[in-house]
Amino acid sequence: MVILVLNCGSSSAKYQVYDWDAKDVLAVGVVEKVTLGDSFIKHQKKGKEEITLQHPCPTHTEAVDLIIKTLTDKETGVLTDMSVIKAVGHRVVHGGDKFIKSVIVDDNVMKTLDEVKDLGPLHNPANILGIEAAKKVLPNVPHCAIMDTAWHQTMPAKSYLYAVPYEWYEKYGVRRYGFHGTSFLYCSKRAAVLLGKDPYKTNLIICHIGNGASVNAVKDGCSYDTSMGITPLEGLIMGTRSGDMDPALPFYVMRKAGISPTDMESALNKKSGLLGITGKYADRRDIQNAAAEGDKCSALAIEMEAQRIKKYIGGYFAELGRVDGLVFTAGVGEFSAIIREKVLAGLEGLGIVYDPKKNNIACTRNTESLISKPESKIPVFIIPTDEELVMTEDAYALMKGTYDVHTKFTYSFQKKDYVNKARVEGLAEQLKKKPELKEVIAVPK
């Protein structure tokens, strides 16, 4: 039995194919430049090198069709035909406050997603197009919407409301929604396993640091507060997003520079953040290389990003009162030792003592790492996220009728003996070149 998961952006369509019976990933890939011209697919079959194939995709329908053809092709494919796909899971960035868990897509769900799309104008239209396109190509299987915002529906009103006229919340849904929910769900469950604790008696601070970035305060295994707001613009400094700032700043600049609201929204989402500070780079690798070569703006960008993350950690520590673990995840959180170093340095007063050597070693997606010293009161973990697995398990359970909200549902990765086959294989190969990784492998208690 095969589960397909799709993550459709405005000009891309990422995918993963999972063999449920073998509990193994068969293929991963992405179609880039959808709708833009010169589109292509990057496809990696299990055990094979990644390949790139050019193919026109004027709409998401062609992109999904290309994915299916690639997966069933005699040379590149991993499936005999489409009939082995029994369910499709779709990432949906913004579900408003209408969904507390993943759902099977029907007409009512599509109508609701359309109603809340103004809350996620950069993401939701593409998510909706992806679902529609996939349903055309695979009309006879359940399509499941996995909401980034669902995880955060446990936040109390004091966390999700803004200090603005209350009628804005009542009339327009103005509130904090939070994002990266699928990643936070996975990491919170895995952290509880590593700590040897009941997940619903576990308090965590999880830093999901990628091009988009947010921090989540987890209290008793549920989302309690988070840094992103009504949109993914609020909170941390990100690749191209500003994060927190004086709300009057946009009005001031619009008056001074004659910028329209639409242009200002674009500037804050696409031209700010690290790109705005450096004037050149949004990718942390480029920024770190430039900083090492003496670029002052890049060095400043690193300091600013780390400081903002540190402020949220301190704030959430105060909110939670007791913290059982601090977690880094996502591309930057998993691979940027310098960002983690800048964030963790000086947190000894909170009982967080990191090991610089282990921090520098722990740059891998193939194992969960522990980078704090034995005397640290709060362990610091790096947990490679696996949003695709959450989506896969949700889709399978929805198809079987066994799914429920995460407090009443148990995932495979919550078990102490859970094994990710692809990562085990990857770690074995990586240890041959980097045996010191053994020093940082986190072992469940």
Handedness of CA 352, 357, 358, 360 (dihedral sign): positive
Beta strand residue intervals within 359-428, DSSP E: 369-370, 380-382
d(CA 331, CA 46): 21
Pairing of strands 325-329, 204-209: parallel
Pair 224, 158: CB distance under 8 Å = no
d(CA 306, CA 303): 5
Pairing of strands 2-8, 12-19: antiparallel
CA angle 427, 432, 438 (to 5 degrees): 60
Best CA proximity match to 30, nearest among 48, 17, 47, 46: 17
Beta strand residue intervals within 167-294, DSSP E: 204-209, 213-219, 222-226
Beta strand residue intervals within 180-290, DSSP E: 204-209, 213-219, 222-226
d(CA 259, CA 265): 10
Both tokens assigned to 37:
């011209």
Best CA proximity match to 130, nearest among 40, 17, 15, 26: 15
The answer to whether residue 148 is catalytic is yes
Catalytic residue among 148, 225, 295, 355: 148
Residue type (1 letter), 300: L
Active site residues: 148
